[in-house]
Structure 1
């Protein structure tokens, strides 16, 4: 390339050398004409003045012609008047939402009070029926007043309509260009609309403050009546606001609004719409407002609709549609019946938790300055900072705020409001069936399904076990339940714990996930490696949040969204194939023509089928006999389901996700401020989040929206090598005769190399240290469960009731049971017996390493 630079430079130099003489000649040719023009400017002649005067209209006409392409076209104007917002439908045909550009309800002109029409025309455009978009007399008068220093508006109703409909195309600056664009658009509107249509469109699009657009919403907001019920005084008040909504706001500026209203009444007298006697009587009357802000009903799935609006706007922009006026019909994946069940279940159980929270935060130790945590909340407010800036010390500022009851009440509510999120997905096609982002959309529009990122706790553990099964581990493989110390970068030591002491005995992976043992999971994480676990979690659906590949990731230390977790569990329920969650199936126009159809997403293999089925089968034990046993005992769900509970450090976050062949549902419960927590009992995922999912699933099964007879296929197909080996063994047995083989010796098992286990006296608990106990009130009881892990997200006991304590104050020895599914209802299929392996206790005095990949240094 360098060798061409001199050549290019020479060519450019030659080009300029050729152009220079031509430029010189052009300058010499133009010089006399320029000199002559300057001379005429200094010494104007009558002819020159006349030519200049004649040229000005030509220049204006040319300027107008140039601006025409920059104004809305006739087609756009016709489309704007239709004003058909996109309609959002559920999968079963129910209306979920309408995407309106504002808080507006369109009413025909016949349903608008004639007093409003008379007041509008008399005040804003008394020659409305005489002009064709521009009142030239009024425009000229406004121009003269403006030039004399008294600025005056000259826009007609049609021009104002043009400005209201197309603020971006016409502009907002008080310039000549804007006025010309406004006039051009007004001419186009008059060519398309009749005068009655122009009035109707104007009155339905004009803004009136407080998010009220159009005369119907204005009438409701300021006077509590419909547009057809407005009397003369009310119509005059609303018309007076059009000159300046904020300046003549009758709520905060009643004196100005009253004076302006009487001015409108005077205009109605001037143009024959009101008699002098009526004016004399009416002008003395007060405003008499009945003000109330109008809010749009949130609809049955408001958080879902909010996310869908963002997606639909992007789709419409790409395909040249308007979601506010093109009458689009969007068919979504939401099932309105499941949505209603999810909303009811979440609200009911979250309200119960709110009652518990209110009790905990009441009294002297609750929302008072004497509570250290609440005092911290008070110091973080702007009111406290303002008090300090004014010179008050800390104690005086807190005392002053504590005396303000409204401040304390609002701060307490803001910090101690229990929040929750819920999501349900069909794992067979990735369609989202129910989405509840908070307890109440009106009070809390923040979406805890897609926007909130929280630590998932033990609900992250299946990714660790899935990675282990993919590497060759089996549910019967064991680790020693012993103290664990894992060195971290910087010389720190991580010591995950459980809420029961270590037994120093083997525990199978099946039991470890059922009872959510942190020590076993941490050892398995070291064997598999954090990088592999993070990659698997991303492949299965945790694709938007950052996952830190560190040992504590096994217990869910990296914040994620509920949508990601439910999507990942849907992958588990779908034989390890990830499907991107879907919200929309088709988009149609107002006539029913299909504009776009969205097929199911292509499956992406995240986990091998064999490993996924093994993982799914072991997660059945979580609800059969483990930390999620309340699904069976409390809610009586007998369908084939699997799931996982989760609780983070200090009971900050409660999680539960339940998987069925046709529906995966998950819930999160907590507070917006993570420093506020539930107590050790109610804060556990099995008591905070599980009831929401259990209640929802119970309702769905009873309504037969989910088939209780559907079952997971967890039969693991043997590979080619295993098949060949079995055939060879059968052939050898047939050829040489079957020989009795002794039972295999227990393999020698060793703990992972990066886990140190100091000598500890064996605890009196057996290998699994757990059993399922039936407790009055429903939930299963056990002496084991999820426990806190210092320095990381961890979990606590999640079995639905406190542990059984022996007379000596320690949990009594328990024998693991192998429960079968409870008997099905008569209408259901016969109940199969789950494939549950007995805990492997043959290696009670030995250790071994399962056949999984060893971690690399530094993982």
Structure 2
């Protein structure tokens, strides 16, 4: 090995000795260059530069790309009935023709940025050479023409941003291409429509509206000079942030206009003394009729476009969605209307206008969570001193109070037959509440989760007439805890059927049913039916809805019920077309997947009908007059933090949630806090409008009639034949007084038995029965009952009994509350505290089109 290394070094030394005379001769030629050598060197430099330019040409935007940039169109989002819902623009820009731009703008632009614009072909050699000399001498200057600036604005990624020779060469090459394709007027039009002006204003039209509240055609000389002056440095010469610099720069532009004959010296002397007058207003894109839906659709469409090599901002895609603009408008009106009603109640309950005067203790908790409190603590203040300082800041207190006590609401409606989403309202006001509560907020569903428990029971063979005794329940949990579900009233000791248990939302009955079925089976069934993104904790308290879910999941799962057990994933898009109307993709309805046996679903629908006919959701018919075959379920969580209601119809399923972003804040009303009085009116108002507009057919009915099997059908025919064969004829008899007396005797005996039973009953049971038999008054639309005034028992229930009362054998309707012990485990409690915060709530997984 040593020998080989020695031979290698000897070889290298020999080669270096041979190259030494050659290197010495080359060094002598450099020190004493000949004329021929100098000439060759001078000729080589341009040749190398030309070769480098040729190499760069393939790496600059092509002619096709430039033409495409000129005609770029944002994706248009259309409703199912052809109405424009949104346009996906990369920036806030509106293209205007050059003829619709003030001539003063063009004059100011050319005089300041490129006064030889009409003489060159993309590159001003004299200006470029002058800029290079100044840069080499230490005074850096820009020499880009308007065409070069346009190339940089259109293709910042392809050309680059670094101040290098390569970037300048790419910019020049692209400018030559643009000049070869565009006329001078087209170049000016494109430049003025693409140049940025801060505040998300792109193009001269948006700049004119932002800074002067007028169109580009109406700009005068001073305004045109101000905007043209901003092009040298948007932030540095910003008339809002730096008005003095903006005036100086404006006057320089005016002087340039005088220099090149676009303004008279006399006019300049007059104009340069005038103050800077701006009328600033940020330009925001209108949210459109379905902003939260469009927000979710943008994410899905961007992924689709990336997979299929399209650009949602420039390729002119036309996306046809499932939204019905008429139903969307009705849903928005219902959410805004009910939200405003409840906001007044919340303001009164919390004293919001007086800085949460009615909730001082919780306000201090909120103040401790602000950055101002942390800053005060970091400065060395104690807790009491920091709170005292923050409490004295009225603006801070008012801001915190109003944000925490702002009522939130959302709504979703879909067609259960094909999963098409028809209406989507993510909050009361998108501009104030852009967070999407439909798909992103996870909240406890309360008693709206109970149908899954009953579905699992019916699937296992239970019947609606099966009963459980209304008695105290104690269910042991892992870790030695005991769960004691309760209702508003005391246990009656009566047998209550499953039908009445769901209709009147009895917690103790549902808990016993959950014990029979098992939490794991209920969780599996709920996931199969549509609750597929949120985690369901398989504990007994899941029966009362302790695992947070989204409204989209719940409405989707109720769609499975309405579709008689067939699950269809919610869809947003039916077809995507290009700008010429050619279909790029179609999304046909997916066949439903049977996740719940059809017979079980028929039984569940039939039982849920009683919720709206005589149970907790009866005001759907009595107050809102919703007709047709409908069923549903109300839901209310512990402390009235969440109110839910979901209504199913053969053609449409609609659900609403009402609450606050922070679950520690509630409406503080055992009446308005219930889902039957907070969320139900949203769905009721929506369905009422939809039926009046005939967008929902009131004649449609669920196919809940059980089809008899062949054996049962044959047995029935045989039984009927035997009855007909052996029936004895009935002879008419004349009525007599003795026979009438005999006929009345059983009735008298029944009355005496009923009287005896009534006398033997306890006082509490008798009083409850008396309340149940009384007609219930309709609730007020706006003002709640005073907290100090006694209220009838019916106003403390989740819904109302129909006028005329309920049968004495039926249980008293109770609110769908869950007690603190209902959390089932410490994990559930922790999940609830974060799921109720839209900032910390985890985003839902991606949705199908």
TM-score normalised according to structure 1 size: 0.83
Query: What does residue range 110-125 of structure 1 map to in structure 2 within 5 Å?
Result: 110-125=99-114
Q: Give 1:231 shift.
A: 0.7
Q: Give 1:184 shift.
A: 2.1
Q: Does 1:816 align with 2:810?
A: yes
**Please, which runs of 5 or more residues in structure 1 have no aligned partner?**
1-20, 741-760, 781-794, 805-810, 819-859
2:593 pairs, out of 596, 600, 604, with 604
| In structure 2, C-alpha distance between the alignment counterparts of 1:800 and 1:779, rounded to whole Å | 13
Question: Deviation string for 1:466-525 (max 9, x for gaps)?
Answer: 111111111111122111111111111111111111122221111111111111111211
Name the structure 2 match of 1:690.
680
Higher helix share: 2
1:491 match: secondary structure: coil
Query: What does residue range 700-739 of structure 1 map to in structure 2 within 5 Å?
Result: 700-718=690-708, 723-724=710-711, 727=714
Equivalent pair of 1:634/1:779 in contact (CA under 8 Å): no
Q: Give 1:69 shift.
A: 2.9
Name the structure 2 match of 1:798.
798
| In structure 2, C-alpha distance between the alignment counterparts of 1:769 and 1:459, rounded to whole Å | 29
Q: How many residues align?
A: 757
2:401 match: secondary structure: helix
Question: Deviation string for 1:690-737 (max 9, x for gaps)?
Answer: 000000000000111100111111122356xxx436746976998999
1:409 pairs, out of 382, 398, 409, with 398
Equivalent pair of 1:103/1:213 in contact (CA under 8 Å): yes
Q: Does 1:387 align with 2:376?
A: yes
Equivalent pair of 1:577/1:603 in contact (CA under 8 Å): yes
Name the structure 1 match of 2:566.
577
Query: What does residue range 5-404 of structure 1 map to in structure 2 within 5 Å?
Result: 36=22, 40=26, 44=30, 45-46=33-34, 50-362=39-351, 367-368=356-357, 371-404=360-393
Equivalent pair of 2:347/2:353 in contact (CA under 8 Å): no
Query: What does residue range 420-439 of structure 1 map to in structure 2 within 5 Å?
Result: 420-439=409-428
Shift in CA distance, 68/765, structure 1 to aligned 2, threshold 3 Å: farther
Q: Give 1:802 shift.
A: 14
Equivalent pair of 2:411/2:656 in contact (CA under 8 Å): yes
Equivalent pair of 1:103/1:212 in contact (CA under 8 Å): yes
Q: Give 1:670 shift.
A: 0.6
Equivalent pair of 1:506/1:767 in contact (CA under 8 Å): no
Shift in CA distance, 270/23, structure 1 to aligned 2, threshold 3 Å: farther
Q: Give 1:56 shift.
A: 3.2
Of 235-244 and 729-738, deviating more is: 729-738
| In structure 1, C-alpha distance between the alignment counterparts of 2:115 and 2:167, rounded to whole Å | 23
Equivalent pair of 1:653/1:670 in contact (CA under 8 Å): yes
Shift in CA distance, 800/268, structure 1 to aligned 2, threshold 3 Å: farther
Of 427-436 and 45-54, deviating more is: 45-54
Name the structure 2 match of 1:476.
465
Of 216-225 and 83-92, deviating more is: 83-92
Name the structure 2 match of 1:547.
536
1:764 match: secondary structure: helix
Equivalent pair of 1:456/1:559 in contact (CA under 8 Å): yes
| In structure 2, C-alpha distance between the alignment counterparts of 1:455 and 1:422, rounded to whole Å | 16
Shift in CA distance, 699/226, structure 1 to aligned 2, threshold 3 Å: same
Query: What does residue range 550-569 of structure 1 map to in structure 2 within 5 Å?
Result: 550-569=539-558
Question: Deviation string for 1:280-319 (max 9, x for gaps)?
Answer: 1111111111111111111111111111111111122222
| In structure 2, C-alpha distance between the alignment counterparts of 1:319 and 1:472, rounded to whole Å | 49
2:299 match: secondary structure: helix
Q: Does 1:485 align with 2:474?
A: yes
Q: Give 1:50 shift.
A: 4.7
2:561 match: secondary structure: helix
2:85 match: secondary structure: strand
2:202 match: secondary structure: coil
Equivalent pair of 1:764/1:813 in contact (CA under 8 Å): no
| In structure 1, C-alpha distance between the alignment counterparts of 2:629 and 2:274, rounded to whole Å | 72
| In structure 2, C-alpha distance between the alignment counterparts of 1:275 and 1:454, rounded to whole Å | 69
2:658 match: secondary structure: strand
| In structure 2, C-alpha distance between the alignment counterparts of 1:481 and 1:30, rounded to whole Å | 104
Question: Deviation string for 1:806-858 (max 9, x for gaps)?
Answer: xxxxx99934399xxxxxxxxxxxxxxxxxxxxxxxxxxxxxxxxxxxxxxxx
**Please, which runs of 5 or more residues in structure 2 have no aligned partner?**
1-6, 728-761, 782-794, 813-849
Of 520-529 and 339-348, deviating more is: 520-529
Q: Does 1:531 align with 2:520?
A: yes
| In structure 2, C-alpha distance between the alignment counterparts of 1:324 and 1:197, rounded to whole Å | 21
Equivalent pair of 1:687/1:800 in contact (CA under 8 Å): no
| In structure 2, C-alpha distance between the alignment counterparts of 1:504 and 1:803, rounded to whole Å | 26
| In structure 2, C-alpha distance between the alignment counterparts of 1:474 and 1:802, rounded to whole Å | 25
Equivalent pair of 2:152/2:171 in contact (CA under 8 Å): yes
Shift in CA distance, 684/370, structure 1 to aligned 2, threshold 3 Å: closer
Equivalent pair of 1:423/1:434 in contact (CA under 8 Å): yes
Q: Give 1:63 shift.
A: 3.0
1:384 match: secondary structure: helix
Q: Does 1:451 align with 2:451?
A: no
Equivalent pair of 1:765/1:813 in contact (CA under 8 Å): no
Name the structure 2 match of 1:495.
484
Q: Give 1:403 shift.
A: 2.6
2:654 match: secondary structure: strand
Q: Give 1:796 shift.
A: 7.8
Name the structure 2 match of 1:775.
776
Q: Give 1:172 shift.
A: 2.2
Equivalent pair of 1:350/1:418 in contact (CA under 8 Å): yes
2:479 match: secondary structure: helix
Q: Give 1:406 shift.
A: 1.9
| In structure 2, C-alpha distance between the alignment counterparts of 1:22 and 1:715, rounded to whole Å | 97
Equivalent pair of 2:91/2:200 in contact (CA under 8 Å): yes
Q: Does 1:678 align with 2:667?
A: yes
Equivalent pair of 2:352/2:402 in contact (CA under 8 Å): no
| In structure 1, C-alpha distance between the alignment counterparts of 2:581 and 2:13, rounded to whole Å | 67
Q: Give 1:577 shift.
A: 0.7
Name the structure 2 match of 1:857.
none
1:776 match: secondary structure: coil
| In structure 2, C-alpha distance between the alignment counterparts of 1:27 and 1:351, rounded to whole Å | 92
Equivalent pair of 1:498/1:796 in contact (CA under 8 Å): no
| In structure 1, C-alpha distance between the alignment counterparts of 2:376 and 2:610, rounded to whole Å | 57
Q: Give 1:164 shift.
A: 1.4
Equivalent pair of 2:496/2:810 in contact (CA under 8 Å): no
Shift in CA distance, 770/193, structure 1 to aligned 2, threshold 3 Å: farther
Equivalent pair of 1:658/1:665 in contact (CA under 8 Å): yes
Question: Deviation string for 1:372-396 (max 9, x for gaps)?
Answer: 1011111111112222222333333
1:505 pairs, out of 487, 490, 494, with 494
Equivalent pair of 2:529/2:560 in contact (CA under 8 Å): yes
